[in-house]
């Protein structure tokens, strides 16, 4: 095990199964997968997957975060894993402020929970406060105005003195922000927002495919978000509908976010490996000082391509790229210079790559059409749109994945579909098979930091993979 690996919690080995919530979860998973990884054939039944999840909480030094390795205390003395396991965890940060202004001695905090149909007035009323109190509070500043948008289940902590006057208020505006209100003087209140830093812990999961990535991920304890992220990271190299084979394997190192010692949710995948039909793919997350994050291969190449393979979620390919096709409307031999993706009307169409809009409007038989220019060599064309996305015009820049329009059947079209063309140096190429250029590799200025900050993750992946192989008796 890498010296930088520090165990702060024992490996639990407990499968992350959420009793009683599985049908809901599975439903969401299936829905999300269906939308994003369209075209995946689901296994007909919930096949049992025999992978061994080891998703204990193991703390690594985290790359690419604000607290970089320089702030991690160096392991000057060799620490045995056992000693580290029994080490007590650092006390969780308190969400309550240390320096609350001392209230009137007789004032007391009470907690009121927002119910269905409640507004702030109703909540205050239940606590014995008046409409005037509501007005004073929400008009204090723009932060307290947020209190007009409270939701059922939210909690308001109110400090009320013996005369029934509101002296203070505390409200969790979000996962990481707490609004504090205190009476400043007779005339009103003052507010401040406390920002809470979530504690990050490292977890690991591993799986082996017996039927589908979906089942293996559920069995490995990955939630919906992590599974989608895993598929997105490797989706540029692996076609999860066609390429997946039994005994494909994956290991994932990811963050878990904690507040006051309680897990809030999963964070990002930090590193992952996928072995598909014997071929190994490895991804490491790197975040620049400016907060841009991306996944790279260990040698710094981007996991992404410069273009999406398909710019929309489609139900089927209704017509392939074909230089000798008989045109369905004209009945004459006319080349089909693109790919037709049948999809329900209104399905979003995404920019295949970062680029600039060079055409946007009616284009003869193409109907409503957008043409994007990507650098000097590439253009992509999107035809038969029902409508364009709002807020764009010719000359505007768009990012990869940004919605540029919606599937329709305008122009010479036999049904709702996206006609998509991909041109390299002005020559039409088959969008489904053309070699897609990689996105930019890690910038030179960040390369040294990338290598330094991902070294421990790469070592951990090595260890996990060899354990996995040993367990499988390979």
CB of 326 to Zn ion, least distance (A): 13
Q: Which is nearer to Zn ion, 33 or 382 (by Cβ)?
A: 382
DSSP per-residue letters across 386-444: EEEPTT--TT-EE-TT-EEEEEB--SS-SSSEEEEEEEETTEEE-TTTSPPPBPP---H
Query: For residue 163, which phi and psi values (nearest 5 degrees)?
Result: -85, 0
Report the C-alpha gap between 254 and 268 in whole angstroms. Answer: 6
CB of 389 to Zn ion, least distance (A): 21
Q: Which is nearer to Zn ion, 235 or 431 (by Cβ)?
A: 431
CB of 421 to Zn ion, least distance (A): 8
Q: Which is nearer to Zn ion, 152 or 344 (by Cβ)?
A: 344
Beta-strand relationship, 355-362 and 397-398: antiparallel
CB of 384 to Zn ion, least distance (A): 8
In the complex, residue closest to Zn ion by CB = 419
Q: Which is nearer to Zn ion, 188 or 415 (by Cβ)?
A: 415
Query: For residue 222, which phi and psi values (nearest 5 degrees)?
Result: -80, 135
Q: Which is nearer to Zn ion, 350 or 419 (by Cβ)?
A: 419
CB of 338 to Zn ion, least distance (A): 5
Q: Which is nearer to Zn ion, 83 or 329 (by Cβ)?
A: 329
Report the C-alpha gap between 9 and 11 in whole angstroms. Answer: 6
* b/e burial code for range 117-136 (CB count within 10 A of at least 16 → b): ebebbebbbeeebeeebbeb
Q: Which is nearer to Zn ion, 118 or 340 (by Cβ)?
A: 340
CB of 336 to Zn ion, least distance (A): 6
Report the C-alpha gap between 63 and 378 in whole angstroms. Answer: 35
Q: Which is nearer to Zn ion, 217 or 343 (by Cβ)?
A: 343
Residue 439: closest CA among 232, 234, 301, 310: 301
Q: Which is nearer to Zn ion, 276 or 379 (by Cβ)?
A: 379
DSSP per-residue letters across 251-280: EEEEEEEEETTEEEEEEEEEEEEEEETTEE
Task: Return the residue matching tokens 């829905």.
Answer: 31
**With contact defined as beta carbons under 8 Å apart, do 154 and 172 qualify?**
yes
Residue 49: both structure tokens together: 């997957």
**With contact defined as beta carbons under 8 Å apart, do 221 and 16 qualify?**
yes
Report the C-alpha gap between 38 and 139 in whole angstroms. Answer: 48
**What proportions of the chain, in percent to the nearest 5, are helix, strand and coil?**
20, 30, 45
CB of 317 to Zn ion, least distance (A): 10
CB of 319 to Zn ion, least distance (A): 5
Q: Which is nearer to Zn ion, 257 or 317 (by Cβ)?
A: 317
> What is the DSSP-derived secondary structure letter of residue 62?
P
CB of 423 to Zn ion, least distance (A): 14
Residue 254: both structure tokens together: 């990811």
CB of 215 to Zn ion, least distance (A): 36
Q: Which residues bind Zn ion (CB under 5 A)?
A: 340, 419
């Amino acid at each position: 095990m890498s010296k930088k690996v520090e165990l702060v919690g024992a490996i639990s080995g407990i499968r992350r199964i959420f009793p009683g919530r599985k049908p809901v979860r599975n439903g969401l998973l299936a829905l999300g997968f269906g939308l994003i990884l369209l075209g995946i054939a689901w296994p007909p039944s919930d096949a049992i997957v025999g992978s061994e999840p080891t998703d204990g909480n193991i703390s690594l030094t985290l790359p690419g975060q604000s607290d970089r390795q320089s702030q991690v205390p160096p392991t000057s003395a060799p620490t045995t894993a056992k000693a580290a396991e029994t080490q007590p965890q650092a006390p969780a940060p308190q969400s309550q402020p240390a320096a609350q202004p001392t209230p009137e001695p007789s004032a007391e905090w009470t907690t009121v929970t927002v119910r269905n149909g409640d507004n702030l007035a109703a909540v205050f009323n239940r606590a014995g406060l008046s409409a005037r109190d509501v007005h004073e509070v929400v008009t204090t500043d723009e932060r307290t105005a947020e209190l007009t948008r409270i939701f059922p289940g939210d909690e308001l902590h109110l400090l009320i003195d013996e005369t029934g006057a509101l002296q203070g208020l505390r409200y969790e505006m979000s996962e990481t922000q707490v609004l504090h209100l205190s009476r400043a003087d007779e005339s009103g209140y003052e507010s401040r927002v406390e920002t809470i830093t979530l504690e990050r812990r490292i977890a690991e999961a591993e799986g082996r495919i017996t039927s589908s990535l979906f089942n293996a991920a559920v069995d490995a304890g990955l939630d919906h978000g992590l599974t989608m992220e895993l598929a997105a990271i490797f989706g540029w190299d692996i076609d999860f509908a066609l390429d997946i084979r039994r005994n494909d394997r994956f290991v994932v190192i990811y963050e878990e976010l904690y507040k006051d010692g309680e897990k809030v949710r999963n964070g990002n995948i930090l590193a992952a490996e996928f072995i598909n039909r014997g071929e190994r793919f490895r991804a490491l997350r790197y975040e620049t000082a400016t907060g841009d994050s991306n996944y790279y291969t260990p040698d710094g190449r981007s996991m992404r391509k410069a273009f999406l393979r398909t710019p929309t979620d489609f139900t089927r390919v209704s017509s392939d790229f074909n230089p000798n096709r008989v045109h369905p409307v004209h009945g004459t031999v006319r080349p089909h210079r693109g790919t037709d993706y049948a999809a329900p009307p209104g399905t979003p169409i995404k920019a295949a790559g970062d680029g600039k809009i060079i055409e946007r409007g009616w284009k003869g038989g193409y109907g409503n059409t957008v043409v994007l220019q990507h650098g000097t060599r590439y253009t992509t064309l999107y035809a038969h749109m029902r409508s364009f996305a709002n807020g764009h015009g010719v000359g505007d820049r768009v990012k990869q994945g940004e919605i540029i329009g919606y599937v329709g059947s305008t122009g010479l079209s036999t049904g709702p579909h996206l006609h998509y063309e991909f041109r390299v140096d002005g020559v039409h190429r088959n969008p489904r098979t053309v070699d897609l250029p990689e996105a930019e590799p890690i910038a030179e200025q960040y390369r040294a930091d990338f290598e330094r900050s991902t070294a421990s993750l790469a070592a951990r992946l090595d260890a996990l993979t060899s354990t996995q192989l040993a367990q499988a008796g390979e």
